[in-house]
Structure 1
Amino acid sequence: PDGWGPTPEKPAADGASGSADDGTGHAPAGGAGSGTPSGAAAGPSASAAATAAAEASSHPATSHSAAGAEDAHRPPATRIDLEQVESRLVPFPVVSGYYSHLTAVTGGFVWLRHPQHGVLGSARAGVEGEAPSPTLEHWSLADRKLTVLAEDVTDLAVSGDGETLVIRQGEHWVQVPATRKAEDEDPARIVIDTGRLRLTVDPVKERRGMLWDNYRIMAQQYWRADMDGMDWHAMTSWYDPVIERLVTEDDFQDMMWEVQGELGTSHAYVQGGVYKADPPMLPAHLGADLERRDGRWVITRILPGDSSDPDARSPLLAPGVDARVGDAVLRVDGRDVGPEGIEAALVGSAGKATELVLGRDGAEHRVAVTPLGDDSELRYQAWVESRRALVAELSGGRLGYLHIPDMVSSGWAQMHRDLREATTKEGLVVDVRYNSGGHTSQLVTDRIARRVLSWDYPRHERPGTYPAFAPRGAVVLVTNQEAGSDGDIVNAVSRALEVGPIIGTRTWGGVIGIDGRYDLVDGTGVTQPKYASWFEGEDWAIENYGVEPDIEVPLPPSAWVAGEDPQLARGVTEALALLEKTPAAVAPPLPAPRFGTPRG
C-alpha cells in the first residue's frame, strides 16, 4: 500500500531508496513496512530501473524472445467480473454456524468452526475451563468431504504450497498436514519447540521502526486525510531523536502516548503489554468490608450477591457459610490475620476452598469459603441495587431504574436484566453515569425512546406494552463526566430524540471511534481515531467537549462520603414532575362481553 517505504529524500538505514506516498505527501526517515528501519524499500531504486531499461534496449531481440518464452508458461490472468458477483456465490454445504480463518489449501479449504454460545461466553456460568474452543476443519473439493483436523485451535497459517499448516493449539504451536488429520503419534505432526527460538533485537532500531510505522498507520487511517491541518511528519520527526534516550519498554510506551496525544483527538491509545502475575500471586476477595477494631479485623458489611450474574456471587453468603456482620476474621487457612489485614493471607486462594476462623461472642468457629479473584462485579451489582432502592424510596415505588455500565455486550445484558421490571413502573430513570462506551447506543436509544402504542392481554398474565418493554411515562437520563465515547453519544442522541431531560454533569467528550486493528512489531497496540460523528443540534462540538446536561447537578466528594446522590435525587424529582404533566399510559379495561354477561 501507499506509504510503506522510504522516500528518496529519506533513504532507509541500509542505503536502499524508493518512493512512497502515504496520502500526506510525506514518508519517514529510515523506515519500511517490515517495522524496522533496515527493511527493504517498497520498490526497486531509480538507478536499478534505469539500468534494466538500458539493458533491455541494447538487446531487444533477446529481451523479446525471453519475454515470449516466459509468457508461454505463465497461466492466464484471472479477471473477476464484479457485475452481479453476489448472484454467483456458492455456499459450502456445511451446517450454519460461526466460522473464521477461511484459508485455501491444496485441493480444498480449511477454517475454524466456533461453538455456539451466548455473547458473554458460557464460561460466565462459573465453571472453570468451560469456555468453548474452535475446531479446525478441512473441506475437500474432490470428494466434497468435511474432516475435523484438530480441536482447540485458535489460530493458523498455511505454507506457500498449501500442503502444511502451523496451528495454535492450546499453549503450543504445531505443524500438521493441511489435508488430513494427524494423530499425536503421526510423524507429520510436529510440536514446535519455541524455547529454541533465539531473536536478537536492536532496541533503538526496533523502536524507531515502530515510531514510523505508527506515523504511517495514523496517516492512512486518521479520520481526516489532511490530519486536521497538522504536519504529522514533522511532529513525528520531532520525537525521533528521543528514541536514542529510551531505556525500557515503559519509556517507549510513555513516549508513544505523547506522540498520539499531539493529535488532540480522543481514542488515540497505546496499549502495551500488561504484567501478569503467576496464579499463586493473584489477590483474592471475600466480598466484604472490614475494619480494625480492638486489634481484630471485623466484618462491617457483606456485599449482597446477584444470582443472575455469576461474577457477582458473594462468598460469605454462600449456602452453608455462617458469616455475619460483626464477626472477626481471626485466621485464614491457619494463618493468623495480623495488623496488615487479610489481603496478604488471601493471596493465591481465588476460586479455591479456603478455611476461615471467625470470632463471634467470645467463641470461634470455622467456615469454608471460595474467595473471588475479582470482586468489582459484586461491588458494582451492590451499587446498582442500592441505586434502585433509592429511586424506589424517593419515588414511592412509581419509578423504575436502569443502570447501563457500557455500550457492549455486558452493558446490553445488564440493561435487559432489569428492563422488564423497570418498565412496569410509571416512569423510568436511566442512569448512564460511568458508561465506558462501546457500540450499542443505537440499540439502547431505540429501547428507551419507545412509546406505548398498544397493549397485549395474555390470559393469566398482566397486560404488556407494545412495543415490548416500552417506558409507560416520563424518562430522564442521569449522566456525569465519566460517561464517554458511546456514553457521550447516548446522551446526544437521546436529546435529539427528545427522550427526556439529561441531569448531572458534562460528559467525557470523545466521539471519534476506533476499531483496534493494528499492532506494532513488538505487540504494542496503537489505535487510530477513524470514525467521526456529527450530531443534530450538536454539530461537531462534542469531541473534546462533551454533552452538556439540561440540568447541571454536581456530585461533590462530601456527598459521596455521606452516601448521598444528589444527581439521582434530582432525576427522580424531574421524572415525578413530568408525570404530573403527562400521566403514564395505563392498560384500558377489557371491552364488554359481546354475547352478554354470563350467568353465575
Structure 2
Amino acid sequence: MKAPAPHFLLSALLFASLLAAEAPRGYYRSPGIHQDSIVFTAEGDLWKVGVAGGVAQRLTTHPREEIGAAISPDGALIAFNAAYEGPSEVYTIPLAGGLPVRRTWEGGGAIVRGWTPQGEILISTAAFSGLPNRQLIALGLDGARRRIPLAQADQGAFDLAGGVLYFTRLPRQSSETKRYQGGTAQQLWKLEPGAAEAVPLTADFPGTSRDPMWFNGRLYFASDRDGTMNLWSMRPDGKGLQQHTRHGGWDALAPSIGDGRIVYQLGADLHVFDIKSGKDRTLDIRIASDLDQLREKWEDKPFDYLSSVELSPDGERVALVSRGRVFVAPTGPGRFVEAARRPGVRYRQAQFLPDGKSLLALSDQTGEVEYWRLPADGIGSAEQVSDGGDILRLDGEVSPDGKWLATNDKNYRLTLWNLEDRTSRLIRQSQTGDDFGRYRFSPDSRWLAFVDTESNTFQRIKLYEIESGRLVDVTSDRYNSFDPVWSADGDWLYFLSDRELTSVVPSPWGPRQPEPFFNKTNKIYLLALEKGLRSPFQPDDELTADAKDKDKQKDEKAGDEADKDKPKVSVEIDADGIERRLHAIPVPPGDYMSLDATAKTLYWISVDRAGDDKRTLMSFEIGNDPEAKPETVFDSIQGYSLSRDRKKLLARREKKLSVHATDKPPAKDPKEAAKAEVDLGGWKFAVDPREELRQMFVDAWRLERDFFYDPAMHGVAWKAMRDKYEALVSRVTDRSELNDLISQMVAELSTLHIFVRNGDFRDAPDKVSPARLGALLERDESAGGYRVERVYQHDPDLPDHAAPLAKPGVDVQAGSVILAVDGQPTVDAPDLGALLRDKTGKQVRLRVRSAAGEERDVIVEPFSAAQESDLLYEEWEYTRRLEVDRLSGGKIGYVHLRAMGSANIAEWARQFYPVYDRKGLILDVRHNRGGNIDSWVLGRLLRRAWFYWKPRGAEPFWNMQYAFNGHMTALINERTASDGEAFAEGFRRLGMGKLIGTRTWGGEIWLSMNNPLVDKGIASAAQVGVYGPEGEWLIEGHGVDPDIVVDNLPRETFDGKDRQLEAAVAHLLEKIEKEPPPRPAAPPYPNKAFEY
C-alpha cells in the first residue's frame, strides 16, 4: 500500500484541528476508559473520544439519558444505563456504535458498576434485598446471573484473577454535601475467596473512600482525606497509602480505570491521570453537536407550571404566571398578552393594580427579588417599585386605593411600601418563623388586617392603622384565628377560628389506645368593629321588624359596589371591648380555609380531612334567613379568588380556569358551564433554554441563601461559590448537567438534607415497565424455564399483600418451573421480565411444572416492581418478628418503622399494640427514612402504668391504657436517617433504653421542599437546626452513636445472620432476668363486714 503524501497528512491534521476549534465544548460526566478510547455522557447521550481528546463521536441519540458507561475488558462492548422503554435498565452497545441490547428487566434500579475480568457486567441492584440495600450482581451476556454474597455492596473491582473483590459497602448517601463524615460515609472493603467475612480497608478515615479500581497490585480509589475528592491508592491490605492528585476545591468524580490510566470528571471537564508517569492532564474535548437542548423550544403545557393566578379588578382578565413568565388572558374574546418579555428573568406573583392598567409582579431582574410594575397590555416598559432587597420577597397585597403594598419576606418581616414615594416601613417581624397568613387592606385603605403567630404558637389577628402605626389585637391567643376578611361596608371583620373542640373519640377505652381527635374545628366568625352594630345574621325580633325594609335597602346599597354615587367607606375601629362584639355565623363547623366575601355572600373552601383531602367551594348568603343553608358552589376545586369589585369569582379546577358572576350560582349545564371557562387552549410560549438554565442556577444559589437556616451560610463565602460555579454554566447543555453543577455548589455547605432533584428533562413516549411475580427466579435451561427458588413471604394476617404466585388458587411453590407465559416459552426470551412487560394488574396465564413433575396452567395478576420491593421488605419485617418470638420465647415484642411519615403510624399501630403487654420491646428503626412523627411514637412510649384495674373474675390490667410496662431497646444503623435519628436520640435522652447497632446518617437540620425553580426542579435547603438543652447542635454531620456497637457484617448477613437483632434480644432477656418488670398482684379484697 502506498503511503499517503506528507502534505495530505498535514491537511488532514489541520482539518481536524480546525474542526475541534469550531466544535463546542460540553459538560462531561461519567466517563469509562479502555486503551485509547473514552466514553462519556454529554447532552444526555453517550460519546466516544480518544485519550488525546479532540472531537467526540455521538453513540446514542435517545431523548432520555444514557449514562454510566463501562467498557468491557476486551473493548468490544459498552455497558450503560438507559431508559429506552421507561424504567432505567442496563444495556450494552458495541464500542463502535450499533443497536443497544437490553440486559436487565428489573423495572428500574439496576446500575452499571463495571465488568468482571471474566466479561460479566457488574451491576448494583436492590432487587433481591429484603432491606433496601444495594447488592452486586455479575450478569453474563448469556443472561446467567451470579449474586455476590454480600448483603451490602454498591461498587466493586476485582483483581486480575477475578478472585478478590474490593468493594464500596454503601451507596453514596442522597444528600449533596462535601466532607461528609456521618454514619453512611462510604468505605472500602475486601472479600477474598472462601473468606468467612469481608474486612474493612479504610476504617482509619471517617470520611469518604469509594470508586475502587485495581491496577498492577494496588487499589486505586477516590477519597476526600484532604477535604477534596482526589485520587489515592493503597496496597491490597489497606497499607501504603499514596495520594496521586491534589485538586483543591474541585472534586474528582466518577473515576474509571483502563490500562494504567484513570479518567474522571473535574468540574465540567474530563481529566486523565497516567499511573506510570504520575501526570494528570485535562482533555480538550469538543462535541460535534447542534446542541438541540439549547435551541429555543415551545412550552405547550404551561398549566403544568402555573404558579400564580389573579383576576383583574373587573373580572374581565386573568393574570397568569407560568414558568416564571407573566401573561394576561381575557375571560372572553380578546387579546392574549405576555406582559413582560425579559430573557433570563423569573417572575413569581403578578396581580393587577386597582386601575386595571398595570400589574405588580415580583421579579429577579436586579439579582434580588423586587416588585416591578408591568403594563397589563404588554405595551411599554417595566418600572421597579421596591429596592434594597436582601432576601426573597414573598407574595404581597395592594391596597384598594393603589397607594400601599404589604409584603412579607423570608426573614419573616411584614413590610408596608408606599407605592407613590417608594418608602417602606416595618410593621411586624415574626419571632416564631411563621408568615402572616392572608393580609387584607380595609376598603378605605387605612387599615391592614394580618395574622401574627404568638409565642404559644396560636395565630392571632391584628389590625394595623397605617396613619398612626397603631396595632389592635382583635382576637385572643387562646385559639387559632385566621383568614381575616373585611365586609364591603367596613363595619365588620369576618374570619375563621378553630374554637369547636368536640372530639370524635369519646374516651380512652377501646382498641389501640384511642385518643381525642378534633375534627371540623373551624367556624366562621364575625367581629363588629364599632359599638352598636347589629349582626346581619341576627334573627328578626319585635324591635327590628319595623326596620326590616330599611335594612334591606341599606344592604342593597352596600352591595352595589360599582355604583359611582355611593358614599366612600370609612372604617372606624373601636378597640374598647372589641372582644365582646364577636358573633358566630350560623354555619356548621368544618375544616375550612380561604374565606372571602362579597356584600351578599360568604365563600370558603371545605376540606375533607377524613377522606382524600377533597376541597369543596362553599357559599352562604349574608342575612338572617332562618332557612338559609351553606351551598356547594363546586364539589372539587383547587383554589378560587374574587375580583376586586367582588362581582366575579375565579375558580381553578384540575387544568381549567373559569370565571363566574357572584350574584348567581354557576351554571350546572355542561354547555353553559363551558362558556365560563377561560380559553387557554392556544396558550404556549417560547423558552430560551440557555437563558433559563442560567436563571435557574442563580435562582438556586439565591434560594439556598434565603432558605438556609444559618444566615452566615456555615461560614462559606457564598458569593464566591456562585462566582466559582457560575463560570461553568456556559458549558451546560441539558437539565441533568445543571443539576450536577448545582449539586457541586450547594455541597460546599457541608450540610445534609440538601437534595437536588427533578426538573424539565427531555422525555420519550415509551413508558413500559415489566411486571413481577413476587418470587426469586433463576433461569434453568435444563429444566426448560425459570425455576422458583422461593416465593416471598407476607404477613398471613394481610392476605392482600401476598405475592401473585402465593395467591389462593395459584399457590406456586418453590422448586416449580415456569415454562411459558401466555403460551410463549420462557427459555426463548432473554429474561422472564421481557414476557411480563406491561402486564401489571392484568391477567397472565402461566404454564407451571411442580417439583413433582406435574404441569398445570394458572392465571396470575403480576404486580409492579415497587410492589415486589415492598413485599421483600415486608418479608424481612415478618421474619424479624418471628425470630424475636423464637429467641425470646414470646417474652419480647418487635416493632419496625420504615419511616416517620404520616402513613407509618399505621405500622406502629399494627405492630405495637399486639405486644404492648410483653416484658421486653425492640424498636427497630434501622433503615428508617425519616419524616416527622417522632413525638407521636415517643409520647406513646413515655406512658407509664401507675395503677391497676381488677375486674371480678379477670386478670388485672393497668392505667395508662396500653402503656408499655417492660424493658425497651432500639436498633439503629447507618441508614437510620432524619426523624428516625431524632427518635433514636430522644429514646436515649428520655431514658427509655439502650441504642444498639451502628452510627446513623447524621442529618438533623430539618427541611421543607418549598423552594422550587421555574421548571419544578429543586435544590432544597436545610431550614431548621436542632440543638439540645446543653446548648449544642445535635446529630448533624455525625449521626447518633449507639450505646452498644454491633455491625451486621456484609458476608454473614447475606447468609441470613442478624447480629444486631440477636444482640437486642440478648440484652433484653438479661434485663428481664435481672430486673423483672413489675406486675404486682392484686391485694386481698377488703373485709368490710360489720357485726351488729
- Structure 2 length normalisation: TM-score? 0.45
Alpha-carbon distance in structure 1 between the residues aligned to 2:911 and 2:926: 16
Query: Which residue does the alignment assign to 2:878?
Result: 385
Q: 1:165 to 1:237 in 2, by over 3 A?
A: farther
Alpha-carbon distance in structure 1 between the residues aligned to 2:723 and 2:956: 67
Conserved? CA contact 2:999–2:1041, under 8 Å: yes
Query: Which residue does the alignment assign to 2:771?
Result: 284
Determine which of 367, 373, 378 is the counterpart of 1:31.
367
Q: CA deviation at 1:461?
A: 6.5
Matched, 1:152 2:488: no
Residues 324-355 of structure 1: CA distance to partner in whole angstroms, max 9, x if unpaired?
22222222233332353322222222222332
Q: 1:85 to 1:109 in 2, by over 3 A?
A: same
Matched, 1:85 2:85: no
Determine which of 686, 698, 707 is the counterpart of 1:200.
686
Determine which of 328, 332, 347 is the counterpart of 2:837.
347
Query: Which residue does the alignment assign to 1:318?
Result: 807
Determine which of 998, 1007, 1015 is the counterpart of 1:522.
1015
Where do 1:158-173 residues align within 5 Å?
161-170=645-654, 172-173=655-656
Secondary structure of 2:657's partner? strand
Higher mean displacement: 234-243 or 212-221 = 212-221
Query: Which residue does the alignment assign to 1:181?
Result: 666
Alpha-carbon distance in structure 1 between the residues aligned to 2:371 and 2:743: 19
Alpha-carbon distance in structure 2 between the residues aligned to 1:278 and 1:465: 61
Determine which of 590, 613, 618 is the counterpart of 1:97.
590
Query: Which residue does the alignment assign to 1:135?
Result: 616
Alpha-carbon distance in structure 2 between the residues aligned to 1:178 and 1:242: 52
Alpha-carbon distance in structure 2 between the residues aligned to 1:345 and 1:186: 49
Conserved? CA contact 1:405–1:435, under 8 Å: yes
Q: Which residue identity lines up with residue 345 of structure 1 in the other structure? A: L
Q: CA deviation at 1:207?
A: 2.3
Conserved? CA contact 1:331–1:358, under 8 Å: yes
Query: Which residue does the alignment assign to 1:592?
Result: 1085
Q: Which residue identity lines up with residue 939 of structure 2 in the other structure? A: D
Q: CA deviation at 1:485?
A: 0.8
Residues 173-207 of structure 1: CA distance to partner in whole angstroms, max 9, x if unpaired?
13141632232111564556655222211222222
Query: Which residue does the alignment assign to 2:731?
Result: 245
Q: Which residue identity lines up with residue 474 of structure 2 in the other structure? A: V
Q: 1:109 to 1:343 in 2, by over 3 A?
A: farther
Residues 512-561 of structure 1: CA distance to partner in whole angstroms, max 9, x if unpaired?
00122221111113322111111256932511000111111111111221
Look at both structures and tell me which one has the larger radius of gyration over its CA atoms.
2
Conserved? CA contact 2:759–2:1015, under 8 Å: no
Where do 1:98-113 residues align within 5 Å?
98-103=591-596, 107-113=600-606
Residues 355-411 of structure 1: CA distance to partner in whole angstroms, max 9, x if unpaired?
222222434322222222222222222111100111111112211111111111122
Q: Which residue identity lines up with residue 367 of structure 1 in the other structure? A: V
Residues 18-48 of structure 1: CA distance to partner in whole angstroms, max 9, x if unpaired?
xxxxxxxxx9985353899x996753789xx
Q: Which residue identity lines up with residue 832 of structure 2 in the other structure? A: I
Query: Which residue does the alignment assign to 1:365?
Result: 856
Q: 1:334 to 1:277 in 2, by over 3 A?
A: farther
Q: CA deviation at 1:258?
A: 1.7
Q: Which residue identity lines up with residue 820 of structure 2 in the other structure? A: R
Conserved? CA contact 1:356–1:367, under 8 Å: yes
Secondary structure of 1:424's partner? coil
Conserved? CA contact 1:501–1:551, under 8 Å: yes
Alpha-carbon distance in structure 1 between the residues aligned to 2:657 and 2:708: 38
Q: 1:287 to 1:232 in 2, by over 3 A?
A: same
Q: Which residue identity lines up with residue 251 of structure 1 in the other structure? A: E
Instruction: Output the aligned Cα RMSD.
Output: 3.6
Q: CA deviation at 1:458?
A: 5.5
Alpha-carbon distance in structure 2 between the residues aligned to 1:375 and 1:145: 50
Q: Which residue identity lines up with residue 490 of structure 1 in the other structure? A: F
Alpha-carbon distance in structure 1 between the residues aligned to 2:843 and 2:1088: 67
Conserved? CA contact 1:306–1:378, under 8 Å: no
Matched, 1:224 2:717: no
Alpha-carbon distance in structure 2 between the residues aligned to 1:277 and 1:140: 51
Q: 1:464 to 1:347 in 2, by over 3 A?
A: farther
Q: 1:327 to 1:117 in 2, by over 3 A?
A: farther
Secondary structure of 1:443's partner? helix
Percent identical among aligned pairs is: 30
Residues 106-125 of structure 1: CA distance to partner in whole angstroms, max 9, x if unpaired?
8545443333436xxxxxxx
Residues 123-143 of structure 1: CA distance to partner in whole angstroms, max 9, x if unpaired?
xxxxxxxx6743233344367
Secondary structure of 1:419's partner? helix
Alpha-carbon distance in structure 1 between the residues aligned to 2:610 and 2:343: 51
Q: CA deviation at 1:164?
A: 4.6
Matched, 1:304 2:793: yes
Q: 1:328 to 1:204 in 2, by over 3 A?
A: same
Q: 1:463 to 1:405 in 2, by over 3 A?
A: farther
Alpha-carbon distance in structure 2 between the residues aligned to 1:279 and 1:450: 54
Conserved? CA contact 1:106–1:178, under 8 Å: no
Q: Which residue identity lines up with residue 431 of structure 1 in the other structure? A: D
Higher mean displacement: 101-110 or 477-486 = 101-110
Q: Which residue identity lines up with residue 475 of structure 2 in the other structure? A: E
Residues 34-90 of structure 1: CA distance to partner in whole angstroms, max 9, x if unpaired?
899x996753789xxxxxxxxxxxxxxxxxxx99xxxxxx93512516544225856
Matched, 1:482 2:482: no
Conserved? CA contact 1:260–1:269, under 8 Å: no
Q: 1:94 to 1:260 in 2, by over 3 A?
A: farther
Residues 220-262 of structure 1: CA distance to partner in whole angstroms, max 9, x if unpaired?
3221222222222221222222221111111112222222211
Query: Which residue does the alignment assign to 1:437?
Result: 930
Structure with more helix by fraction: 1
Alpha-carbon distance in structure 2 between the residues aligned to 1:536 and 1:384: 35
Higher mean displacement: 471-480 or 304-313 = 304-313
Query: Which residue does the alignment assign to 2:216?
Result: none
**Aligned positions, number:** 536
Gaps of 5+ in 1: 1-11, 17-26, 47-65, 68-73, 119-130
Query: Which residue does the alignment assign to 1:75?
Result: 444
Q: Which residue identity lines up with residue 85 of structure 1 in the other structure? A: V
Q: Which residue identity lines up with residue 944 of structure 2 in the other structure? A: R
Determine which of 496, 502, 506 is the counterpart of 2:999.
506
Secondary structure of 1:86's partner? coil
Query: Which residue does the alignment assign to 2:719?
Result: 233
Higher mean displacement: 417-426 or 286-295 = 286-295
Higher mean displacement: 242-251 or 289-298 = 289-298
Q: Which residue identity lines up with residue 281 of structure 1 in the other structure? A: V
Q: CA deviation at 1:418?
A: 0.9
Alpha-carbon distance in structure 2 between the residues aligned to 1:115 and 1:28: 38
Structure with more strand by fraction: 2
Alpha-carbon distance in structure 1 between the residues aligned to 2:904 and 2:884: 20
Residues 127-178 of structure 1: CA distance to partner in whole angstroms, max 9, x if unpaired?
xxxx6743233344367653322233334455555555554534x3131416
Q: CA deviation at 1:282?
A: 2.9
Q: Which residue identity lines up with residue 622 of structure 2 in the other structure? A: L
Query: Which residue does the alignment assign to 1:9?
Result: none
Alpha-carbon distance in structure 1 between the residues aligned to 2:998 and 2:344: 56
Q: 1:461 to 1:435 in 2, by over 3 A?
A: farther
Alpha-carbon distance in structure 2 between the residues aligned to 1:103 and 1:389: 56
Q: 1:188 to 1:505 in 2, by over 3 A?
A: same
